[in-house]
Amino acid sequence: MPSSGAAQRSAESDTVHGTIDTGYRVEWRPLVELAPWAAEWRDLAGRTLEPNVFYEPAFALAAAPAFGSGAGAGLVWSRTTPPQLLGLFPARIEQRRYGVALSVLVGWTHPYGPLGSPLVDRDAADAVIAAWLNYVSSTPGLPKFLLMPYLPATGLLAEAFDSALQQTGGKANAFGRHQRALLAPSGDRGGYLELAIGRRKRKDLRRQRKRLTDAGAVTSDSVQDPQAVPTALGHFLALEAGGWKGRAGTAAQADPAICNFLETAVTALAAEGKAQIDRLCVDGRPIAASVTLKSAGTAWGWKTAYDESFARYSPGAQILLDLTQRLLDDPGIARADSCAAADHPMINHVWRERLPLCDRFMRVGPDGGLSFALVQGLETLRRAAIAGLRPLRGLRRG
Over the stretch 20-32, which tens digit does the pLDDT of each residue have?
445 899 999 999 9
The answer as to CATH 3.40.630.30 being correct for domain 185-333 is: yes
Which of the four pLDDT bands, split at 50, 70 and 90, describes residue 127? very high
What is the distance between the alpha carbons of residues 123 and 49, in angstroms, rounded to a whole number? 8
Whether the link from the prior residue into 82 is cis, omega within 30° of 0, is yes
The rounded mean pLDDT for the chain is: 91
What is the distance between the alpha carbons of residues 384 and 389, in angstroms, rounded to a whole number? 9
What is the distance between the alpha carbons of residues 175 and 182, in angstroms, rounded to a whole number? 21
Query: DSSP per residue over 189-243, as a string?
Result: STTHHHHHHHHHHHHHHHHHHHHHGGGS-EEEEEE--TTTHHHHHHHHHHHHHTS
- Which letter, b or e, does each residue of 284-319 get, where b requires 16 or more Cβ atoms within 10 Å of its Cβ? eebbbbbbbbbbbebbbbbbbbbbeebeebbbbbbb
What is the distance between the alpha carbons of residues 236 and 306, in angstroms, rounded to a whole number? 8
**Which of these, 286, 283, 274, lies nearest to 240 by C-alpha position?**
286
What is the distance between the alpha carbons of residues 344 and 247, in angstroms, rounded to a whole number? 21
pLDDT for 187:
83
Is residue 12 within 8 Å of 85, Cβ to Cβ?
no
Q: CA gyration radius for the chain?
A: 22
Q: What is the pLDDT of residues 177-202, one digit of tens each?
A: 999 999 999 888 989 998 999 989 99
Helix (H, G, I), strand (E, B) or coil at 345: coil
- Which letter, b or e, does each residue of 364-397 get, where b requires 16 or more Cβ atoms within 10 Å of its Cβ? beeeeeeebeebbebbeeeeeeeeeeeeeeeeee
Which of the four pLDDT bands, split at 50, 70 and 90, describes residue 369? low
Query: Does the fold of domain 185-333 match that of domain 4-177+357-397?
Result: yes
Q: What is the pLDDT of residues 59-105, one digit of tens each?
A: 999 999 999 999 999 999 999 999 999 999 999 999 999 999 899 99
Which of the four pLDDT bands, split at 50, 70 and 90, describes residue 8? very low
* Domain ranges for the chain: 4-177+357-397, 185-333
As assigned by CATH, the class of the 4-177+357-397 domain is alpha beta
pTM: 0.91
Whether the link from the prior residue into 356 is cis, omega within 30° of 0, is no
What one-character DSSP code corresponds to residue 163?
H
